[in-house]
A and B are shown apart, each in its own frame.
Chain A
Amino acid sequence: MDLNTLWFVLIAILYIGFFILEGFDYGVGILLPFLGKDDQQRRQIINTIGPFWDGNEVWLITAGGATFAAFPHWYATLFSGFYLALLLILLALILRGVAFEFRSKDENPLWRSLWDWAIFIGSAIPALLFGVAFGNLVRGVPIDANMQYVGTFFDLLNPYALVAGLASLITFTLHGAIFLSLRTDDEVLTAARSAARRLWLPTVIVLATLWVYTYFATDILERLGINPGVIPLIGMIAMLGTGYMLRRGWDGWAFVGTAISIAAAVITMFIILYPRVMISSLNPEWSLTIYNASSSPYTLRLMAIIAVIFVPIVLGYQAWTYWVFRHRVTREQRLEY
């Protein structure tokens, strides 16, 4: 594997980590207004992700930084091209992050409800728009010979990308519902389990639609043929298995199921892309690839050494966080924040 491919894989791993981890806390945020019947339940729900959301968000920041360092043209074309979409995501993340910290610091019901809705919107918008963005990446967008995005914001809102957005939105919501089933007790637990069961079938339908649609909207057929390959199949099986686990009440395994489907979906998108990072819909020659968009070999090698040393350390202490907070957030305990 050359260094460019290695960095393509590392960035894929960062997005897998981001979507699996932040995916459930987006889901929890989306479900907050619906599952939390009173203030104490909402606080219980927020506390399930309280210790994690900030660390999870760093996966995105790291993916952004890694893209900047390894593929500067990808970083530049993507973020200047998807300007308004990224702006909406950033504003959503601002409101959301602040809301977690601010909501409980005043007992005024209006204040609390304001920030609870900020958490909902701040979770739903990125959950939707990340799917839209990735849908556009694999479908292709108007990029000219100078690597500049020449489309508009509304070009990004094509039907395929919207289906991809709906898929990420609903998958993260299901993932979050299962996470809540693992981390709560009493009424919230019951509500979360029931939400997970009800969300499962629609999720399967949306994902299947996206799967089929991908054959029509992207060049996957001519590049890879009719055989979807083993990764998307694993993803589909994992999602089907999730339904079974949910029915049996095996929440832990159901969570593994949604995590695998998310990972499989991200890997599939990166396989469709490879070796391109942004596909030009105007001329295939104008696509950004891991070669024409990359940094110098010196930078790639340097960054690879740093990543190999530090990624395992980060994984280690993040895993430890989940171990420290493995207990359920119960109504009886004194709830922080």
Chain B
Amino acid sequence: MQYLLSVIHDKTNSGTPEEQDAIDVFNDKLVAEGYWVFAGGLDSPTTATVIDNRDGEAVFTDGPFVETKELMAGVWIIEAPDLDVALKLATEGSKACNRKVEVRPFL
């Protein structure tokens, strides 16, 4: 089963070199142990554009979809047999990147 690990943070571009190193180590472990699907950091929320084309006429809005202090700063997508494994990896991931991490399964 695949899980989305969303990295949640209240600032942007604040990753330190130490955090980046720890993330690299964690990523290597995900690959080595067969959990790795995909991972990536996101640019600042100010770079976001929201598109609403539900009425057939696209409306573009400058900025993220919600006014909030915390936003997604990056993601891991992992393949794990169950939630306990996903939670354990998310716990390590949170330590590595020094951020909160949300775990949600894909449908």
User: Do A and B come together as binding partners?
Assistant: no
A residues contacting B by CB (< 8 A) are none
Residue ranges of B at the interface with A (Cβ–Cβ < 8 Å): none
